[in-house]
């Protein structure tokens, strides 16, 4: 099908570090697969990265390139998909300002992902106005491209709900869409913005390799929490990380009965090991105390190395020609500007704020 006629898809990542296994099962696997069926846009969200790193601009800059390299390494193809840098598409910032007028302040503070991030990233009460604004900025990242579908991990669900609320409110106030209209009817009734669908990955929230948080639950794997296995980790690093990973803290020797539930070792096997029969049998033996942690970890290392190593090898090839990689990002950003500017004009016309 002609690329322009395909339904549109948008998603992205913050430039806070390299991509990890959580990104892979949460969103990237889906994206790579969907490239042939959707007109895909992928945003590298550098302004969002700066909401928690405003004092580390060089690091954010470097991480834009790291994410771009990871995208190319996992098989996102710039010939088929548009990859762009958030801050180089000014229409997004303009729409953020207009959208911020549609969201009541207390609504932002009720967002559970914001609460989790403030707690898990230790932001205390030092977060900026811009940090609180980021879900609205994310609504603008998405709606600037008027996509049908947004593949994300579970932590993004509240943000996508806000995105839908913004789109509904905009369409109702400025485009006279009936307040009782079904979501699927908004465009047909003259709305500028689609009410986007969420597409979750096969693992909605992959845990990290570290110990649980203060409330006893395992933290999600995150670039910012030092608990990630990266898609660019070499076999030796993977081995060290798996050997040191958190498992059942009450199991001190191989003959102790172990707990499989809530144990990252088994969560990782269940997620990544294609040999389901081995996993099932090994879990039984772990429960019974007839298999050692080390044997299970060795198996996991093999599985993860065979998942990650081809990605890492492709990344090494792209790293050799960083100017070419930069040119791909520049081309994608130019294309993204065309699309987002078209949306901005439609939005300004609907709001009767287009003067010249």
- Residue 201 Cβ vs ligand ATP, minimum distance, rounded to whole Å: 6
Give whichever of 11 and 171 is closer to ligand ATP, judged by the CB atom: 11
Q: Work out which of 223, 239, 269, 312 binds ligand ATP, going by CB under 6 A.
A: 223
Residue nearest to ligand ATP (CB): 26
Residues contacting 103, CB < 8 A, separation 6+: 136, 162, 165, 166
Binding mask 144-183 for ligand ATP (x = CB under 6 A): --------xx-xx---------------------------
- Residue 27 Cβ vs ligand ATP, minimum distance, rounded to whole Å: 4
Matching residue, tokens 């172990």: 258
Written in H, E and C, the secondary structure of the chain is CCHHHCCEEEEEEECCCCCEHHHHHHHHHHHHHHCCCCEEEEEEEHHHHHCCCCCCHHHHHHHHHHHHHHHHHHCCCCCCCEEEEHHHCHHHHHHHHHHHCCCCHHHHHCCHHHHHHHHHCCCCCCCCHHHHHHHHHHHHHHHCCCCCEEEECHHHHHHHHHHHHHHHHHHHHHHCCCCCCCHHHCCCCCCCCCCCEEEECCCCCCECCCCCCCCCCCCECCHHHCCCCECCCCHHHHHHHHHCCCCCCCCCCCCCCCCCCCCHHHHHHHHHCCCHHHHHHHHHHHHHCCCCHHHHHHHHHHHHHHHHHHHHHHHHHHHCCHHHHHHHHHHHHHHHHHHHHHHHHHHHHHCCCCCC
Interaction between residue 206 and ligand ATP (CB under 6 A)? yes
- Residue 200 Cβ vs ligand ATP, minimum distance, rounded to whole Å: 9
Interaction between residue 137 and ligand ATP (CB under 6 A)? no
Cα–Cα distance, 96 to 201 (Å, whole number): 27
Interaction between residue 210 and ligand ATP (CB under 6 A)? no
Interaction between residue 205 and ligand ATP (CB under 6 A)? yes
Torsion of CA 218, 223, 224, 227, to 10 degrees: 40
Give whichever of 164 and 220 is closer to ligand ATP, judged by the CB atom: 220
- Residue 56 Cβ vs ligand ATP, minimum distance, rounded to whole Å: 12
Interaction between residue 227 and ligand ATP (CB under 6 A)? no
Interaction between residue 27 and ligand ATP (CB under 6 A)? yes
Give whichever of 114 and 195 is closer to ligand ATP, judged by the CB atom: 114
- Residue 153 Cβ vs ligand ATP, minimum distance, rounded to whole Å: 2
Interaction between residue 46 and ligand ATP (CB under 6 A)? no
* Binding range to ligand ATP, per CB under 6 A, among 9-17, 232-240, 246-254, 271-279: 9-17
- Residue 48 Cβ vs ligand ATP, minimum distance, rounded to whole Å: 8
- Residue 45 Cβ vs ligand ATP, minimum distance, rounded to whole Å: 7
Residues touching ligand ATP, count (CB under 6 A): 18
Interaction between residue 269 and ligand ATP (CB under 6 A)? no
Which of 77, 84, 83 shows the shortest CA–CA distance to 36?
Answer: 77
Give whichever of 262 and 317 is closer to ligand ATP, judged by the CB atom: 262
Interaction between residue 221 and ligand ATP (CB under 6 A)? yes
Interaction between residue 23 and ligand ATP (CB under 6 A)? yes
Interaction between residue 16 and ligand ATP (CB under 6 A)? yes
Query: Which residues contribute to the site for ligand ATP (CB under 6 A)?
Result: 13-14, 16, 22-23, 26-27, 152-153, 155-156, 205-206, 220-224
């Amino acid at each position: 099908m002609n690329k322009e006629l395909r339904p549109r898809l948008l998603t992205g990542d913050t430039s806070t570090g390299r991509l990890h296994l959580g990104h892979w099962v949460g969103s990237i696997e889906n994206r790579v697969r969907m490239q042939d069926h959707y007109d895909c846009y992928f945003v590298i969200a550098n302004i969002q990265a700066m909401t928690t790193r405003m004092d580390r601009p060089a690091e954010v800059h470097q991480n834009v390139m790291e994410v771009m390299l990871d995208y190319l390494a996992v098989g996102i193809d710039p010939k088929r998909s548009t990859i762009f840098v958030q801050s180089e598409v000014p229409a997004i910032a303009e729409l953020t300002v207009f959208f911020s007028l549609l969201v009541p302040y207390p609504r932002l503070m009720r967002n559970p992902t914001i609460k989790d991030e403030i707690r898990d990233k230790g932001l205390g009460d030092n977060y900026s106005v811009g940090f609180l604004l980021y879900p609205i900025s994310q609504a603008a990242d998405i709606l600037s491209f008027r996509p049908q579908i947004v593949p994300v991990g579970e932590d993004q669900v509240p943000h996508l709900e806000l995105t839908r609320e913004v789109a509904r409110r905009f369409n109702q106030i400025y485009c006279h869409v009936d307040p009782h209209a079904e979501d699927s009817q908004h465009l047909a009734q003259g709305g500028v913005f689609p009410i986007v669908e969420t597409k979750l990955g096969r693992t909605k929230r992959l845990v990290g390799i570290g110990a649980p948080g203060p409330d006893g639950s395992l933290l999600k794997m995150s670039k910012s929490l030092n608990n990630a296995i990266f898609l660019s980790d070499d076999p030796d690093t993977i081995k060290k990380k798996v050997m040191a990973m958190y498992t059942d803290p009450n199991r001190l020797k191989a003959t102790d009965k172990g707990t499989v539930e809530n144990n990252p070792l088994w969560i990782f096997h269940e997620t990544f090991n294609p040999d389901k029969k081995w996993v099932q049998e090994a879990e039984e033996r772990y429960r019974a105390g007839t298999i050692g942690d080390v044997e299970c970890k060795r198996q996991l290392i093999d599985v993860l190395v065979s998942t990650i190593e081809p990605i890492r090898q492709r990344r090494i090839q792209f790293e050799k020609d960083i100017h070419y990689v930069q040119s791909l990002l520049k081309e994608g950003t130019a294309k993204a500007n065309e699309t987002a500017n078209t949306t901005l004009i439609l939005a300004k016309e609907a709001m009767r704020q287009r003067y010249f």
